[in-house]
Amino acid sequence: MLAAVMTWAGLLAGCSAVGSGPLGLAGAPGTPPAPEDYVQVTPVDAAKAVRPGQRLRVRVSRGRLEKVAVVRSQDAQDTTVHGRISADGLTWRPDEDRLALAARYTVDAVALAPDGRRSARHTTFTTLVPGERFVGYVTPENRAVVGTGMIVSLAFNREITDRAAVARAVRVSAQPPVEIRPHWFGGNRLDFRPEQYWKPGTEVTVDLNLRDVQGAPGVYGLQDKTFSFTVGRSQVSLVDAARHTMQVRRDGRLLATVPITAGAPQNPTYNGRMVVMDMLDVTRMNSHTVGFGGEYDIPDVPHAMKLTDSGTFLHGNYWSPDAPGRVNVSHGCVGLRDVRGGGSDTPAGWFFDRSLIGDVIEVVHSHEKTVAPDNGLGGWNMTWARWTADTGAQ
């Protein structure tokens, strides 16, 4: 049963935020530094063509590791990589001796420092693809239940020059049937979507018939794989940057109106439709990683939902409790009131618990351009005519 309509607007008074935070983080006076090397992950973040003999390790020099989660994505299938934290809490090692070939690894680690503060680290790397082969890393994962805004996205590890051949070798179908068309973003990314959001309950199947398909001179596909996902209920949330509110609608019905803080005038939030790409209970946000200077470094941002590749998040904000519903103070993200560590009874916790990867967040009345269609899963910002104009036929 859907929850009754709730409104948090007006519960917060005044605004005394100072500075700003990670693409949506307001200032965090007194926040201790969290050096990048506190939680050390090898191979390093964004490493490519990692050879199978290189060891996967997560380490801290002090304190202890609380949790390490590693996922291997290979042939459109996500597999948990099991491992163990050492008795002294300083090191995590996988049970597997060697890294898999042609795979993408995602590492999420949370550590507890000696002073009791938590730090989070999120890294990815890809391993060597043998010979002249190409693979496509697929979003969403197999057997996932997603929101109605999910776009099927294939990221190729090599530049594709014969785009028509590759597009023909990928088939995306739905039940009940709906027209689904591809669109290329450059030579490394191929996305699929219907004209409108998926209908709730739709079963989507993706057939990758890429093995031995020539994607570029002398470069052939490796995958022959089928996977599927299910579209869950519809949830579309409208962020009004001028009113400092977010209306959450479930299956067309207003579920809640939540106070928010968006990007400050000097760093406004993107307008347009964005899709939840990832959901993290807690993560670290550092201004250096998104092109800013040293404005902020928050090691424990709660209820973080990634919206763009460039670093836009919708997340909990415990450091500027007076901002949501009152004023825009962030570096571009959308912030909801929260408490340190993340509370289930806060606006951020309430929204996080009711969200899915694939849900739509639409921002209006911000003094910024519309988000680019290839920045995250932003393809819904393209007209159907423009989307279908580049199917790889050329």
- Which of 288, 333, 365, 367 is an active site residue? 333
In angstroms, what CA-CA distances link 6 with 60, 136, 325?
A: 43, 42, 14
CA–CA separation, 347 and 352 (whole Å): 9
In angstroms, what CA-CA distances link 248 with 49, 198, 238, 265, 333?
A: 42, 18, 7, 24, 17
The token pair at 212 is: 């031995």
In the sheet that holds 245-250, the strands lie side by side as 6-7, 253-259, 245-250, 235-240, 360-364, 272-275
- Which of 122, 244, 315, 331 is an active site residue? 315
CA–CA separation, 146 and 228 (whole Å): 11
Active site residue 15: no
Pair type for strands 136-139 and 133-134: unpaired
**Residue 382: CB atoms within 10 Å:** 18
Q: What is the DSSP string of 127-157?
A: EPPPSSEE-EEEES-TT-EE-TT--EEEEES
CA–CA separation, 310 and 368 (whole Å): 15
Pair type for strands 145-146 and 224-231: parallel
Place of tokens 């591809």: 182
Place of tokens 């693409």: 23
Active site residue 333: yes
Q: What is the DSSP string of 239-268?
A: EETTTTEEEEEETTEEEEEEE-B-B-TTSP
Length of the chain: 394
Place of tokens 């550590």: 111
Active site residues: 315, 333
